[in-house]
Structure 1
Amino acid sequence: MLFQRSQLMEGMTVRSSDGEKLGRVFAMGDDAFHIEKGLFFPKDYLVRYADISDIRDGEIILMHGRDSLRSFSSEDKYGTSAGLGTSTAATDLRASADTTGAWGNARRTEETTIPLHKEELDVTKREVQTGEVRVHKDVVEEVKTVSVPVRRERVRVERRDVNPDRPAMNASFQDETVVVPVRAEEVDVSKRAVVDEEVVIRKDSFEEERRVAESLRHEEVEIRNSDDADDKRTLNLGPDDPTLRRR
């Protein structure tokens, strides 16, 4: 499988086929990419995309083993068969140099852009339950006394004199019982439910300021010339790289 430039990113870790960490990608061209200088390589090296065996978990795996790459480094032999080459002032993607030759005195300038990243806060809000209010209703019984006026009938019997000459009409001279009903009012009690009062629960929302603090990281670049004693660079290096130097 032939990998393309679009599948690589600056800062990706490069390893040999046997797992040796070689460095990180610091620049990319159309046909090859540069591995930064580290303890394994005394110089920056150019690797062709065709020499990539696989890309796993964001890391680039080359087709060459650790021993073969170390022998190349010690002998300074990097040809087309290994797919590696030294990064001189004329081929280094980051360098600007004066060159002379058949073209006469001419100044050639090449440049590349190295992105520096930083973290920013992304604040979002979400609703959570911070408490609750419970309203409980209890049933209470009480005795209520009400006075209700009622009517009832009572019987009074009296005798009175009449005119003796008054004729008796329909006199049957038989035993007879006259029934006079006596009535009274009774009280019947029933109950019905009515609304006595209401309890209203209201929730009001209000805003308050809350301060949040979080540690943010950003990248800094330190460039040292080859004239320096240790010739260390910190371009897009990870925290586990032995050549890392931070300010």
Structure 2
Amino acid sequence: MFQRTQLREGMTVRSVDGEKLGKVFSLGDDTFHIEKGLFFPKDYLVRYADISDIRDGEIILMHGRESLRNLSDADTYGTTTSYGTTTTGLGTDTGLRADAGIKDRSWEARRTEEVAIPVHKEELDVTRRDVSAGEVRVHKDVVEEVKTVEVPVRRERARVERRNVDPGRPAMNASFQEETVVVPLRAEEVDVQKRAVVDEEVVIHKDAIEEERRVAESVRREEVEISSPDDADNRRSLNLTPDDDPLLRR
């Protein structure tokens, strides 16, 4: 927590969002006094514990402008005792300044008092979002065609040959019975199987194209019309007749 020795009178006080609140008018044991300005319509007390930082010779509070405005409207911000007087923090205390021997500048402040009236207007905040802009469809049809492939195959063919043998060659295991000898012949057959392979690729590229688009939207703003009692007196004086105003009589 920041101490009294780190502050001095005349230092600028700002909210956490950078809004200038006023200047230090006096320093107490637990609180310091912010003089009345454009933001505060009254003099305010702030605790040292509510200081967020001291930067470039300026005091930064922990609260934002709107938070302080709400607190100032409610006139409550905790109770603090200083200078021998019990005071509501972020509130006025004329006796506080008198007990502390501080010069009462209320009349001087009233002479220079200003009231800030905000005048609003609407501005356009343009954002971008992704939406669907169409689609590209690639349709694949199945086309059936006949493909002919020449495949060499082999088969066995029987060829009978009769040869002469040496005379007197003994016959082994001669049974002299009728019999049939079967010699199998083999051949190759063609089996066809199909498998899927990649023939080609179709690649779709998406390029980002930037273009200008004009957006028009109606916005509202507030206009200020000022009227005062002085204006009413002037308007009344314009319609005076000699009978109404003795000064106009000749």
Answer whether TM exceeds 0.5 for this pair: no
TM-score (norm 2): 0.44
TM-score (norm 1): 0.44
Higher helix share: 2
Q: Which has the higher contact order (CA 8 A, sep 6+)?
A: 1
